[in-house]
Each structure stands twice: as C-alpha cells, then as structure tokens.
Structure 1
Amino acid sequence: MEKTKLDLIKLLDYIDPSMLEYQEWLNVGMALKHEGYTAADWDDWSKRDERRYHPGECFKKWTSFEGSGITGATITQMAKDNGWEPKRSKEEYELSWDDEISGNDDYVVIDKNWIEGMEIQEPTNWNPVQEIIRYLETLFESTENVGYVTETWEKDGKYLPTKGAYDRTAGQLIQELSKCNGDIGAVLGDYNPEAGAWIRFNPLDGKGVKNENVTDFRYALVESDSMDLEKQNAILRELELPIAVLVYSGKKSIHAIVKIDAANYEEYRKRVDYLYDVCKKNGLKIDSQNRNPSRLSRMPGVERNGKKQFIIDTNIGKSNWEEWHEWIEGINDDLPDPESLKDYWDHMPDLAPPLIEGVLRQGHKMLMAGPSKAGKSFALIELSIAIAEGVKWIGWQCTQGKVLYVNLELDRPSALHRFKDVYQALGIQPKNIGNIDIWNLRGKSVPMDKLAPKLIRRAQKKNYIAVIIDPIYKVLTGDENSADQMAHFTNQFDKIATELGSSVIYCHHHSKGTQGNKKSMDRASGSGVFARDPDALIDLVELELTDALIKQQEGKVVAEIYANAIKQVNFDYYDEHIGPDDEQSVFQMVEHAKRVLSQEQLAQVESEIAKAVKSIRIRSAWRVEGTLREYPKFEPVNMWFQYPIHKVDDTGILKDIEPEGNLPPWKNAMNKRKDPEQKKQERIEALETAFEALDGENNHVTVGDLAEYMGTSKRTIWNRIKEHGGFETKRNPDDKESYVSRK
C-alpha cells in the first residue's frame, strides 16, 4: 500500500514563524529540505515574520542543511501543537506499516473550536497610580527589588525598551506612588505615550536585570499576539492557569503572569516548557521568546498609543502551580467506559484470591487502627511473617508470598532485631525470610504523594503480594480531619495497589478518649475517610482486666509450672497422686512439689514462676473487631499482647470482658463510689474465693497461704477472717502456723 504524503505547505498555515525560537525556525527549513521541498517554500513562509525576516537568508542557510536528520514529522507535530488535526478517513489518509498509532490529546482541556470569546472590560474609573500599586502588591514582597522601564529607543520604526531601573523595592515604590498626586513620572520617570512602559514580574537582587539577578523564580509570562483578545481571555481562563495578574498590553495581546513557584532556574525552565506545551496544545498561540524569568512585561497604569495598559483581573484559576499541574495531569484520564452487566452475567470475572482468608483479598487495602499501646507495629510484623511463611495471623490463614515492610518509625538495627525477636517468640522457623523485604525510611520519609511513585518504581518487578506501611502519620499530608485532603492522601494507596497488583496494609492511631462505646469504624483518628476507604478495617480495643482475673491467671500459670516440673522429675508420682482437682490448686501443687522436688529444683521452679507472674502482670488484653467490604463480618477475636507478640485467647476467658470505657462516664464514676457495705461484701467474697481455691483434702489452709494467694499481709487476712465471721483459726504447735477452717 502506498503511503499518502501529507502536504507540509498546508501544515505551515498552522505555524506562525514569529512565534518560534531561532532553532525552531531552522528546524522547519531542515524538515522541508529533507522532504523534498524548496528554499523558496521556506522563504515564502518565513516572510510572515515581518520583524525578523531578512531577504536572502533562507537561501544562504539552505545549502548547510544536508544530513540534518530532521524530517517532516517535526512540522507535523508543530502543526498539531497549534491546532491542526489529521483527518482519519480512509480516503484522505491511510496508515502504512511504518506509521505510529498514538493519541494527540494529551493535556487537552478545551475544544478551541467551540470556545466563545470573553470580552475585556476597560476600567471605568481610570486610576494609573492604583493600577501600578495593585500590580506591585500582588506580585512582590515589600522588601523585594523591582525592575521597570520607562525609557525607550527606536529601531526600524519600533520603540524598544532600555535596560531600565532596578534599584528600588516594591515597598519604596508603593510609598512614593501613594504620595505623588498622580504624577507617575515623578516616581518612575516619564514614559513615551506612544510606546508605553514595561515592568519585570520576578524580584531582582538590585545588581542587574539578567536571569542571574532574579532572586525568586516565582512567575512566568504567557502572551499571545496572533489571536483575538476575547479568545485569548477565554482560553486563559478555561485552562485554569494559576494567574497572579492578567494585564492588557494596550495593543494585540494579554499578558498573563502565571505562578510557577520554582525552587531554582532549572526547575523554572522545566515548568515553563510544560506550561507553554499545554497552552499550545489547547490552541493558545503563545510567544515562545518570553521564557526568561527576567523578561519584561507590560506595566499597567500607563497608556500606549492612545490605549490604556490595565489590569484585567488578579488571582484567577487554580491557586498555585501544584494544584494546576495535578489538575492538568488528571484531566485527560484513561478511565474505562461503562459496561453492561448483561455481557458478564454468565461469564463473571474471577475474584481476586485471598491474602488473609475471610478478611482481605490480594490487591485490596486494609487499615489497622488502635491506640499506641496495642502493639500495632508488632502485629504488622507478625502479619509480614505470616505472609512470608504462609501461616496463620490472629487465627486467619495467610497466602504465602513476598511482602514489603515500609518502616517509617524505627531505626534500621531496631527494625531488624524486632523481626528476629518476633520470629523467635512465635516459635516459627525462618524458612522463608527471603520473602520479606524491609525498606527503612526513618529520617528519610517524604509525603505520601511523593513516596508512592518512588515505592512503585522500586517494587515494580519484585512481585510483592503485600505492601505494609507503618505508620502512616509519618507520611500524612494535609489536615487529617479534612475529608477531601484525606481522600487525596488515601488515593495514593490505590495507586500502589493498582500499579503493583499487591495489597496495601497500613496502620493509624485512634482518636483521643475512650473507644469502647464506639463502633470499630469510628475509632480511627481524623476524617471518616480513613475508616471508609479501605476494603478491610481491623480495629484493636483494650479490654479492662480485673484484679480477680489477673490473680486467676497467675494461679493457673503457677499450677502449670509446678505440674510440668513434677512430670519431668517423677512422672509416675504425677500420674498416681495428682488428679484434675489438684492441678487447679496452687496449694496442692506446692505440697506435691515439696514431696518430689529437691531444694535446688524448687528454687529453679520459683525463679520460673516469678518470671511468669511478672509477664502476666505486664500483658494486656485486646479485642479485634472489623468492618469488611468483601467478606461477611467476623466474630470478635480476643487476644493477649505479651511482648513482643499477640496470642489469641482460645480459652474463652476474655469473652465476657467489656472494653475499656464501654460504660458511660457517669456509670464508671458511680461504680467507683461504692458504699461501705458493698465494699465489705466484696472483701468477704474475695476471702471465700481464696479459701475455696486453696482448700485441701483435710482443710489445711493457713493464714500464710491466704495472704500469698490474695497478695496481701497476714495482718489483713486476720482482719478479713474476723470480718467474715464464718471461719475459725487454730494454731498448730508443731509448725507454729495458724490453720483456717470453717466454723
């Protein structure tokens, strides 16, 4: 199939030579020569730039264009940037095997063919001094030097600006203008009313007017003098450019002073190139020679050949460069089209496989919320290990695979040690530690919208099935109570999940105050977006342990330790003499241990008991609740946090315990204000419980046994026995110990 050749001469109608830089003009000539056109074609087109055209120049340069490598595609792209659209019908244009198939609508915001012009209103109350002051106040700090030009020189019938002045600050100029009684010339110098006056829109250092004298790369100039003024005005506004000041030049153009806010000259150039590219693609034929940060623009408040140079508007469009850039990037989306349910009813797509069985699917998001003492980081390390090894986490089976743990809080050695400590405490053999990658970013974290692309780039080929970010407050951007700002923040997790195909799991803290009387999805701090955005919300709330329960747990563990020690030394004795009731009694197990164990062995057991009791007293109890999008709601899971790991309570002892703060504050306070009779009854019941637990076969319970069990002194036990009235004591002269029995 023969490729139809585009007529480049017709495309040149879309390219204004007066709007091109010198190299761009040369590129057009090189492209024309490469495609077989003549120097006369280039010369005819160049004549449209009356200001810079020189007869015979095109013919002199033509001979030097051999082998430039620049083809007609250069002209095609320049024409596209200025509004040309290729015809796609088969009769007018057919694709060859070498043609590139691509869209040309990147960053296109408006349809310039349908946009209506917007009229420019000349100020009714003309106040030149106020025009200049308004301009200065909008663009400059009071201490910044301002460059301006009122003097001109003439060349080829045109008035051109001189270097001008740059020795005064905006504050000085405003002060002097306010006192000049309308005589601008007394402050700035008299200007030629046929030429007008100019001003530089970026602050200077007071030593010159070149790019190197610019102290802050704050603004750029967007100007077009080859379009209707009304069309320029409309396009500038439709593009939502972050315009600080919009000025009518007094002739054919509008000068838009656009907020660039670049950190340095290099970033300024990149941003201005991006800005000009967007403007061109949306039909604004701009003057590309205005790129320099030290460029002059038209000064408002003066006249030019009978027409006023005035401010059209200030602070319009997006509020800053970042907001506008994000808007432009998102405007030409690649969102899918709506689809009919009918097309998939009988051929439903496969659901994503589970990552955490019954809780979270792969590629979805999960939030773990809880207070600071819940051990959330330890829980997420446990989850990392469970995924790496393919084992259970809080009772849920995990799919095995690679996981990236993004550590934002711990220093590197602490993070590595913590993983090893948790592995060892869980009793899991590290057979698949190669499945865990740790990205240590303490002291190097950046806001989430900056971190997300960096994370995606590093993880692109790692095949992670989960990315765990701990904690998110380190990368939080914006006000956490603002729904729209937090929606933008959580959208970064969507980007990571979509780009990597992995689950994203992160943790956040609870809001202040008690949480027991709240729903799980209302406990996370900040906007409700946190709770409603993830596909799974796992929430931890602390359970309020009573002294009696803690004592019960201590007694159970102590009895188990004695039982295990007896089994190891003399299993036959254990099997013959110790029954189920004995196993539940600390008193009985102590008596058996004294008969079987040596003094040295007893000392070792007591040391083990001391450690175990201490561990019980410092552990905390937690209830895991959840809100799930993909799975049915699960029954709450109760567990202990015993540093450094969580252990599910499979005994049911925590089932009936209420979370901290579950009762209203007034009722909690009332419960604390117990009357004396109620307190007495509680003491009597506690003594009864202790006696029943220690009661042996021969009712040999001593005052010392009760004191040890209840964690109090013998004197207190004597007082409790007297208060109870149902017990009596008898002193044994052999061991000088007082035994307690019922009356």
Structure 2
Amino acid sequence: MENKLDLKALLDYIDPAFLDYQEWLNVGMALRYEGYTASDWEEWSKRDGQRYHPGECFKKWTTFEGSGITGATITQMAKDNGWEPHRSSEDERELSWDDEISGNDDYVVIDKNWIEGMEISEPTIWNPVKELTTYLETLFEASENVGYVVSTWQNDEGKHLPTKGNWDRTAGELIQALNESDGDIGAVLGDYNPEAGAWIRFNPLDGKGVKNENVTEYRYALVESDTMDLEKQNAIMRELELPIAALVYSGKKSIHAIVKIDAANYDEYRKRVDYLYNVCKKNGLNIDNQNRNPSRLSRMPGVERNGKKQFIIDTNIGKANWEEWENWIEDVNDDLPDPESLTDFWEHMPELAPPLIEGVLRQGHKMLMAGPSKAGKSFALIELSIAIAEGAKWIGWQCTQGKVLYVNLELDRASALHRFKDVYHALGLQPNNIDNIDIWNLRGKSVPMDKLAPKLIRRAQKKNYIAVIIDPIYKVLTGDENSADQMAHFTNQFDKIATELGSSVIYCHHHSKGTQGNKKSMDRASGSGVFARDPDALIDLVELEITDELRKQQEGAVMAEMYSKAIQQANFDYFDEHVGLDDQQSVTQMNTHAKRVLNPERLQQVELEITKAVESIRVRSAWRVEGTLREYPKFSPVNMWFQYPVHKVDDTGFLKDIEPEGEQPPWKKNFNKKKSPQEKKKEQNESLEIAYESCTIDGTVTLEALSEFMGVTPKTVRNRIKNHGGFWITNGEVGRKPDK
C-alpha cells in the first residue's frame, strides 16, 4: 500500500455511532476494496457499543466483492469530520486533476499563530460540593435526570475506564443531598477512585439508561483537546466566543468546554456539532473527534484525579446561545463588503473595467452565447479566441488583445487543434500571436462546474488571461436546468472564476426546442431564466429563412460579379465600352461577354471558381445576432453567414429584411406536436449517455452519481438504463455493455 493513505488512521476521525447502516457498510466495502481485513473493520466497529454485534463484520465481508466502493469514501468521511491531508511544498508542484481549492479561510476568526495563552488557576479555596452544585445548577433543570460515574475498571494496559454509572436521580435531588452532605460528596455519589477521578454526563437523561436514545434534551456538546497547551486551549476557546455553559479542567492535559448547542432533535444536534468542530479546527483547536455523542461523559468538577483537582474554570462565557454565536461566525466570514456612501465617490468615480469586446462586454464580466446546434457556436467561440489573441474584430466588434483560455469540453484534442488552424486560415489571419491562446482539452474528463471552477482557477492564476471561454456548458451542467435555485448555484461558479482571475468568462448554451424567431433574445436559451439574466452580455443567434428563390438570386449575383471581375482584369477597355449596368445583373449576358474576352483556358478557370462559389452558397446558412447587454446600449441586429468553418458579416444588406425562422403571423404558425414515444425514448437515451460520459471522471460510475447529475431519482435512472439496453447495473455500479 505504498504511497497510499493509511485508512485505519483516517477511521479515527469517523465515529461509527454517527453513521447510518448504509454508511457503516460503505466503510467496510471501502476497506475490502483497498486490501484491508475484516478484523480492521471489526475493530473500528466496536466503538459503537450500542449497535456492535461480534462476528457480524466477518459475515458481511464476503458479500462485498465488486462493490466498487473505494477508499475515497473513507477519505471524504474523514475530511467531513475535520481531517486535513498533509501537503508539502504545495505551491511548488503541478496540480493533479483531482486537486481543488479547499477554501481554508472559511470560518477563520483568529490567527492561531499569534494567539497568546491564558493561564488557568486552581481555586484558592477548595470546596468540592460548591464545584459540583454550581455545575449542576448551570447545566440542568431541577427535575432532569443526571448521569454520572464514580466507579471504574482497568483494561489490559492498566488504564482506568468508567463504568455505565448511575442515572436514576435528578439534578434537584443531587443538589439537595450534596448541600446536606457536610462536604462529603462520596456520601452522595459513592466513593470514587482518586487515581481516576469521576465523570458526569452533560445532557439530561430519561432515567432509563445512558445511551444516545436516553438523552431528553440535545442541549450541550463537548469540546476537548488533549494535544495542546492548556493555556492555548483556554485562549482559543475564549477568542472564538464559544457559547460555553461550563469550562472545566480535567485534572490532566485538557479543558472540557460544555458548549450550548440547543438542538431540537438528534439530526440537528449532529449538524451543529459538525459545524462547531469544523470552526474549532479551522482556528487551531485540535479537537478530540470521539466526543460527538450527546450522551458522552465529561470530567466531573469537585473531585481529584491522581493528585490534581478537577474544577470549574468559568461558567456562561462567550456568546449567549448557539444562534447568536453561529450568526457571529457567519458574519465574520461572509466576505461581503461594507455599504458605501455615494457622496464619498460622487466627484471621484472609480474607473470602469476596460472593454474586452467593444460595445458588448467589459473585462472581468460574463457573456453567454446561445443558439441552436447548427449555428456553429463552437466555431464562433474559436473565432472570438483568435480575435482576442490577435486584437482583431469579431462579428464586427473590435476585441482587446490579450491571453485567452479556451476550455474544450466536447471535441477530442486533435479535432480541437485542427479547428483553430482551419479557422485562422478561413479568416485570412496570420498566426502572429498564437502564444496568446491556451487550450484546455477536457473531453472525457469533465466534472460538475462547482468542482471544475477551483481546478480552473488554480491552473489559471498566474497566466494573466483576460478571457476564459468554456465550450459547451452542458458537459459540466448538473441538476435540473429548469430549476432557478440549481442554475443559480451553477452560474455562481462563473462569478468565482471572473472574480478570482479578473478575466471575462464566456460560455455557450443551447436554445430550447422549437422555433425561436417569435421570442425575445433572452427567452431563447433552454432552461431557467437564470441563464439569460445572469450574464452581463447575452449574444443570441437565430437562423434566417433563405428560400430557394432568394438563394438562386444570390447565386446569380455572385456568378455575375465573378464574371465581371474576370472581364475587367482581362480587358478593362472592353468592359467599360460594352458592358452596361443591365448586363452586369444578368448571368447570361456576362457569360456571353466572358466568352468574347477570355481565352478558353482562363474561361474554364473562372467557371470552375464560380462552381465552387455557388456550392459554398448552397451549403451556407444565414443568422441574425441579437443581444441583451447590461453595461452598454442595445446594439442593432447583426446579420451574418455561417460558411464552414467561419461566420462572415453580411455587408451587402442582403439579409436585412429576411425574417428569422418561426416569425410568421399567428395564423401561419404550426401547433406544437406531441412527442411520439420514439422521440421521448431518444431524448432520454441521449440524456443518459451524456450523464454517463460526464461521470466517468470519477472512475467507477454509480447509480447515485447518475441520479445526482441528471436531477432525477435513482429509480428513474434504473428504468432509463433498462429501456436503453446499452448499459448494465450491478450493486449500484453502472457500466456500458460491449458493442456486439
């Protein structure tokens, strides 16, 4: 297991008592997959004394073959519970595909490197009864049952461990008995072992036992660290303003902070304790992860342990309650700027971001290009990449020159590189600045956008890109594109990229189904309206209807023009004297003139060029570019031709009066036809195939991963796999059947 993490060490961060049954099984499956033994799983499972059954792990072990659950499952669980991987020379190595930006500054309140320790002093007057009664009065209502332990047993190493203890008396009964004990707490609780000390449970019980299920109020949690100086523990807990009900010295090497959680139920308790522990760890407090249980024992104040006193350091310090503390933590770390007064800037306004695309988009802002599949959107974005690299025009708009990153999610590497070269040639541009273009080829390796964004940022931070182009976004799209909430989370990733890199983010998306000519530009993109409203500039492509009559008219104009140029080049005097304006509009007349002026070889060459030009006209499509802009006034529609592999603006005005597809009078519009079963099945199969390809980045594709990616239930994914016929599913793992 060389160069692999020690998963047994990571299990120290995972408490089986906090896992549901499936999560517990997943740990076992992961251990088997990574070559560990059933004994390793068994030993860890013993920590859940409530549900542990001897021999159960060995019985289930043999059923785990081929589960597909890897050690990554344990690694993630450990991370969720505070484990952080050790990294050496992090900034000096190249990032691997799975590296992410972890956001290590979240919830950091104090600088752990500069905090000064706070000394702890023993009570000058030792009053055991007062210590314990103060603790009980602070934490419990008089009618609540209290669990405590004074008896111990010794393990094989000779360590004193607590028994289950007592839980049959209320706080009020204990306080009354202690006050009447004449200072002898042993007369009330029973004599304790002065080598071991005594323990008490900080949450009230139902009087029937001491397990989690016997806890009646999820009021407190224990924060303890036994690997740090006592003074530093004390200082950090106070600087964090933890809502501490009681701060107790354990009599050895740790402080026990009984923190107010005030959870309504067990699930909320778990979430709040996870949050609490995460904040503590982020701020340098090395938490003991075994203390999460609400029925956990803590050190009882008022007793002695191996010659040292267990005593209350303080009570009711920090924030008043959980809600106040959590709000304070969130406010400190919200990274939001403070409100500004307009009067401070009225005479000295900040400079606007410089343009990236003149009149359309500023640097550091976002742009969406939307259009149907046949619009050549990828070619248009390659054209934009080249225009930025060379400082040239794009669809008639001047671009600022600079470095650009093109994130290719769809084409294989060779095809992507060839496309750039083909577009350069078709545009007639010299590749003088191709070093300004970086291409990140991720076909077959795409991940959801929230995971891709930090990886992209890390790779791009020192490149000084002024634009990042992501093509296409459906490869990194997760969830339901019609959900505003899910798509808002998705588009927020573009904000992160733009903010972190200071570059524009440009991406493309497809139109919704059906004709688009009768819609506004911002309503054509498929899915939630978030797509159209989120970017600072929306560039939309809609196809123009070119009838056969119009196409023939254009073919004739091009043919006549090419004959005209050839004649002028061969004999300008003849052209000036014999070719009138009416002749110049007629293909037949121009052909007659050409035969008179051009020699047979030249005539044959011109007719060959005309044939090629006519063929290119017949296969090209016409498009209208419209837009919605946030920073600039609305621009007039731009008409252009898509003549593979580039778009060319129509400078002739030929397309000006042509209507987009679907922009007919209401009485001409076709009613939407109901999709046939075959059409529905085709769409579902395509959706499944896209999801499967996108999920292969994690190696094994699981039913759960497909369900999350597609935004449907696992049951729906199973049905679609069955209907598709090209995939198999076993124990939650999904694979593609070999081609026959």
- TM-score, length basis structure 1: 0.52
Does the CA-based 8 Å contact 1:223-1:286 persist in structure 2? no
2:373 counterpart residue number: 372
Question: By how many angstroms is 1:608 displaced?
Answer: 2.0
Matched, 1:486 2:487: yes
CA distance in 2, matches of 1:634, 1:120: 71
Assess, with a 3 A threshold, how the Cα gap between structure 1 residues 432 and 564 changes in structure 2: closer, same or farther.
same
Structure 2 residue aligned with 1:508:
509
Letter in 2 for 1:235: I
Alignment correspondent of 1:464: 465
Deviation at 1:198, TM superposition (A): 8.3
2:163 is aligned, of 159, 165, 176, to 159
**Whole-angstrom distance in 2 between the partners of 1:553 and 1:121:** 95
The equivalent of 1:342 in structure 2 is: 343
State the Cα deviation string for residues 404-448 of structure 1 (Å, max 9, x = none): 111111111111111111111111111111111111111111111
Distance in 2, Cα, partners of 1:364 & 1:517: 29
Distance (Å, rounded) in 2 between the aligned partners of 1:510 and 1:84: 46
User: Secondary structure at the residue paired with 1:431?
Assistant: coil
Please give the secondary structure, in 2, of the residue aligned with 1:540.
Answer: strand
Structure 1 pair 334/474, CA: closer, same or farther in 2 (3 Å)? Answer: same
Kept in 2, the 8 Å contact 1:421–1:644? The answer is yes
For residue 618 of structure 2, what is the aligned residue in structure 1?
A: 617
> What does 1:161-200 align with in structure 2 at a 5 Å threshold?
196=210
Counterpart contact for 1:224–1:286, Cα < 8 Å? no
Displacement, 1:636? 0.7
Change (3 A) 1:591 1:244: farther
Contact 1:409–1:471, Cα closer than 8 Å, also in 2: yes
Matches within 5 A, 1:270-285: 276-278=277-279
| In 1, Cα distance between equivalents of 2:143 and 2:598 | 105
Whole-Å separation in 2 of the counterparts to 1:587 and 1:420: 39
Q: Choose which of 216, 226, 235 in structure 1 pairs with 2:261.
A: 235
Q: Give the equivalent residue in structure 1 for 2:45.
A: none
Please list the CA deviations of residues 37-80 of structure 1 after superposition, one character each: whole Å capped at 9, or x if unmatched: xxxxxxxxxxxxxxxxxxxxxxxxxxxxxxxxxxxxxxxxxxxx
Report if the CA contact (8 A) 1:276-1:286 is conserved.
Answer: no
CA distance in 2, matches of 1:576, 1:650: 29
- Give the 3 Å change call, closer, same or farther, for CA 258–84 of structure 1 in structure 2: closer
User: In structure 2, how many angstroms separate the alpha carbons of the residues matched to 1:289 and 1:556?
Assistant: 80
Partner of residue 591, structure 1: 592
Alpha-carbon deviations, 1:90-145, whole Å to 9, x = none? xxxxxxxxx9599xxxxxxxxxxxxxx9999999xxxxxxxxxxxxxxxxxxxxxx
Give how far 1:567 is off. Answer: 3.2
Q: CA offset at residue 638 of structure 1?
A: 0.7
Paired with 1:121 and 1:372, the residues of 2 have a C-alpha distance of 72
Alignment of 1:511-530 (within 5 A): 511-530=512-531
Secondary structure of the structure 1 residue equivalent to 2:651:
coil
Aligned equivalents of 1:121 and 1:606: distance in 2?
105
Rounded to whole Å, the distance in 1 between the matches of 2:620 and 2:139 is: 71
Relative to structure 1, the CA distance from residue 289 to residue 511 in structure 2 (aligned partners, 3 Å threshold; closer, same or farther) is closer
What's the RMSD between the two structures over aligned residues? 4.1
Measured after TM superposition, the shift of residue 539 of structure 1 is 0.6
Question: Does residue 1:385 correspond to 2:386, yes or no?
Answer: yes
CA distance in 2 between counterparts of 1:374 and 1:120 reads: 72
Judge conservation of contact 1:276–1:288 (CA < 8 Å) in 2: no
Alpha carbons of structure 1 residues 244 and 612: separation in structure 2 relative to 1, 3 Å: farther
Alignment of 1:274-313 (within 5 A): 276-278=277-279, 288=288, 290=290
Seen in structure 2, the aligned counterparts of structure 1 residues 574 and 100 have a Cα distance that, compared at 3 Å, is farther
Offset at 1:228? 6.8
Aligned match of 2:540: 539
- 2:499 maps to 498
CA contact (8 A) 1:222 1:287 kept: no
Question: Does structure 2 conserve the Cα–Cα contact (< 8 Å) formed by 1:222 and 1:290?
Answer: no
The aligned counterpart of 2:353 is 352
SS at match of 2:470: strand
Q: Which whole-Å CA distance do the structure 1 matches of 2:601 and 2:399 have between them?
A: 45
| Counterpart in the other structure of 1:638 | 639
SS of residue matched to 2:163: strand
The whole-number CA distance in structure 2 between the counterparts of 1:604 and 1:504 is: 47
For the residue of structure 1 that corresponds to 2:367, the secondary structure is strand
Aligned partners of 2:612, 2:115: CA distance in 1, in Å?
73
Correspondence 1:80-479 to 2 at 5 A: 154-155=153-154, 158-159=162-163, 196=210, 223=222, 227=245, 235=261, 237=263, 245=267, 256-257=269-270, 276-278=277-279, 288=288, 290=290, 332-479=333-480
Q: Is the 8 A contact 1:542 1:622 kept in 2?
A: yes
Distance in 2 separating the partners of 1:511 and 1:565: 46
How far apart in 1 are the matches of 2:544 and 2:411? Answer: 27
User: Which digits, 9 at most, give the CA deviation of each residue in 1:221-253, with x for residues without a partner?
Assistant: 975699579x97952649xxxx8647xxxxxxx
Cα distance change on mapping 1:384 and 1:633 into 2, 3 Å: same
Preserved CA contact (<8 Å) 1:222 1:286 = no
Residues 623 and 636, structure 1, Cα contact 8 Å, conserved in 2: yes
Bigger Rg over Cα: 1
Tell me if structure 2 keeps the 8 A contact 1:153–1:160.
Answer: no
CA apart distance, 1:572? 3.6
Structure with the greater relative contact order (CA < 8 A, sep ≥ 6): 1 or 2?
A: 2
Amino acid at match of 2:261: I
Structure 1 residues 331 and 418, CA gap change in structure 2 (3 angstroms): farther
* C-alpha spacing 1:333/1:257, structure 2 compared with 1 (3 Å): closer
Structure 1 position 534, deviation (Å): 0.7
Q: Give distance in 2, aligned partners of 1:232 and 1:450.
A: 37
Moved more, 563-572 or 338-347: 563-572
Q: Distance in 2 between matches of 1:84 and 1:355?
A: 38
Structure 1 residues 518 and 118, CA gap change in structure 2 (3 angstroms): farther
Deviation, structure 1 residue 566? 2.6
Alignment of 1:29-48 (within 5 A): none
- Show the counterpart of 1:653: 654
What CA distance in whole angstroms lies between the structure 2 residues aligned with 1:544 and 1:119? 79
2: CA distance, partners of 1:364 / 1:640 = 27
Corresponding position of 2:708? none
Task: State the percentage of identical aligned residues.
Answer: 73
Is the 8 Å Cα contact of residues 222 and 259 (structure 2) preserved in structure 1?
Answer: no
1:478: Cα distance to partner? Answer: 2.3
SS across alignment from 1:400: coil
With over 3 angstroms needed to count, the CA separation of the structure-2 counterparts of 1:568 and 1:119, relative to structure 1, is: farther
Cα drift, residue 482 of structure 1 = 1.1
Q: Distance in 1 between matches of 2:349 and 2:109?
A: 43
Gaps of 5+ in 2: 1-107, 117-137, 145-150, 155-159, 166-206, 214-219, 225-243, 248-256, 297-325, 672-740
Q: Which amino acid in structure 2 is aligned with residue 416 of structure 1?
A: L
1:111 maps to: none
Measured in 2, the distance between the counterparts of 1:122 and 1:481 equals 53
Q: 2-side partners of 1:257 and 1:571: how far apart?
A: 90
Asked if the contact 2:139–2:245 (Cα under 8 Å) also holds between the matched residues in 1, the reply is no
- Where does 1:675-694 land on structure 2 (aligned, <5 Å)? none
2: distance between equivalents of 1:502 and 1:630?
Answer: 16
For 1:235, what is the secondary structure of its paired residue? strand
- Separation of aligned partners in 2, 1:454 and 1:542: 36
Report the count of equivalent residues.
427
Once the two structures are TM-superposed, the CA of residue 626 in structure 1 deviates from its matched residue by 0.7
Please say if residues 566 and 606 of structure 2, whose CA atoms lie closer than 8 Å, have aligned partners that are also in contact: yes
Letter of the 1:158 partner, please give it: P
Gap change, CA 1:663 and 1:233, over 3 Å in 2: farther
